[in-house]
Amino acid sequence: MNEFITSSEDVLNMLDDLLRDPTEFWNEFYKDRTKEIPFFINAPDENLVSYFTKNIVQAGRVLELGCGAGRNAIYLAQQGCSVDAVDLSETALFWARERAAEKKLNIQFIHGNLFNMDFPENNYDFIYDSGCFHHIAPHRRLHYVEIVQRALKPGGHFALNCFAENGVYGGAALSDWDVYRNRSLQGGLGYTKEKLQSIFKDFQEIEIREMQPIEKPNALFELEGFIVSIFRKG
């Protein structure tokens, strides 16, 4: 690697290198499907389902960022959406493709790093992220927002499910500077309503709340310690 900085992209790559390479970690993470990982279940997020039942979001062209083993992509396809689902882990995508094939669903699963991808401009009616954003380092956050802004159609919706600060399952309450002092996201950064409002200030806020507990048994995914939000692009 050339360690001579001549551009802002070189700075971003240098900061990437200070932190753990996520690709190897997530491939290993998804290898053992028998692990008792809450989001290994094949059930959609309760907030995602609520956006459709409340008619906030309708069937359309959808991009999912960090789709994992495909549980939300499958739900979106079942609602009549045309789904592009991206993930860094080929192991996770192999599982996602198996699940989609079992249900005879046509989903475009894409392997890659979203920061190295060129998404078409104004192409998606809805962009969804369940669990990707809180693993993104602070120096990539502005780029993330730019990707969403560029790919989303005017009037389209963007929704997010991420760790709340000091949540039960994660949500480090680190300052952005401490991420680099420690060279670690400590399993994932935690967010508050105020932080999300600041980061996505150029979008119209529709809802920001805690994930809702669901009475069991129920075919929805919900966990304490997560914050969910949905925004509209003007």
At 138, give phi and psi (nearest 5°): -55, -35
pLDDT-derived band at 1 (thresholds 50, 70, 90) equals low
| pLDDT band, residue 128 (cuts 50/70/90) | very high
In a domain, 188, yes or no: yes
pLDDT one-digit tens code per residue, 51-68? 999 999 999 999 999 999
At residue 215, the pLDDT reads 75
Task: Tell me if 196 is assigned to some domain.
Answer: yes
Confirm whether 1 is domain-assigned. no
Asked if residue 74 belongs to a domain, the reply is yes
Question: Does any domain span residue 2?
Answer: no
Asked, for residue 3, whether it belongs to a domain, the answer is no
Whole-model pTM: value is 0.96
Domain limits at 92? Answer: 8-31+42-232
Q: Domains in the chain: how many in total?
A: 1
Q: Residue by residue, what is the 3-state secondary structure of 92-160?
A: HHHHHHHHHHHCCCCCEEEECCHHHCCCCCCCEEEEEEECCHHHCCHHHHHHHHHHHHHHEEEEEEEEE
Confidence grade of residue 139 (pLDDT, cut at 50, 70, 90): very high
CATH number at residue 85: 3.40.50.150
Q: Which tokens in the block code for residue 195?
A: 């932080």
Do the domain assignments include residue 37?
Answer: no
